[in-house]
Amino acid sequence: MEELTGVLPDGYHERGPGGALLATTGSLIPALNGVMSVAAVPDSAEIAALCDAAEAHVGELPWSVRLRGEPEETIVAVAADHGLTTRTRQPFMLLSLGDGRSARQAASEPATVRPLRNDEHEVFAEVLGAAFGAPAFVISSLYTPLVLGQPFVRAYVAEADGVPAAAGLAILTGEHVGLVNIGTVPEYRRRGLARSVTARILRDAHAAGARTAYLHSSEEALPLFEYAGFRTEEYWTFFTA
């Protein structure tokens, strides 16, 4: 989030005294605006202060609070005070890339996946919009040519019958790669396309020096990522309006 907000013209981020982060991208995606903490036990006073500060920066944008584990009731009340009353539990998954396992696995996948150029942002938005049931402009509100052209961002598309049918994104920071928005257009599901996108991301990230892959999954997508070798390390709590 800090990498993204650091390159966006309207991006903003600040840290609380305990390390929690307030970051806004200007996107219409709630997870990409708001307050987050990686502390095992988030500080409720820090979260409350950052939520108060968030009001001045998010404006009319959808936003969220994302925390590890099960938050204490004080934090639940803070989120509710800011209108964030929808509570979702998300698996946080990890995969070690140090042994090259993902690279070997990826070699057996169908060779249908290619990286996207930054000027193909509309293709990326259309595929992910169809995959997740969202208007394409919601996706393109963040994934602009500027963002897709950053050295730490890599977007991919899988084609079926010559048609872009699945897509995904990798965020490379140091020895870590985050997998984001792996999705397939409904009429092309159950062909292994999302699996191929995942495998290609892992292979390329390993080649680029990543040693750990991570992601937040939905419960429905767990089998896809478990097939790739990910394990659920813990659960996070996600508050939205």
Task: Name the residue with tokens 């920066």.
Answer: 57
This prediction's pTM: 0.91
**Dihedral angle computed from the Cα positions of residues 56, 2, 225 and 204, in that order, rounded to the nearest 10 degrees:** 150
**pLDDT at residue 112 in the model:** 83
pLDDT, averaged per 10 consecutive residues of the chain (241 residues), comes to 92 96 94 95 97 94 96 97 97 87 50 90 97 95 95 96 95 96 96 95 96 96 96 97 96
Q: DSSP alpha helices (H): ranges in 19-167?
A: 44-58, 73-81, 101-106, 121-132, 136-140, 145-148
The architecture (CATH level 2) of 94-235 comes to 3-Layer(aba) Sandwich (3.40)
What does the domain layout of the chain look like in residue ranges? 2-84, 94-235
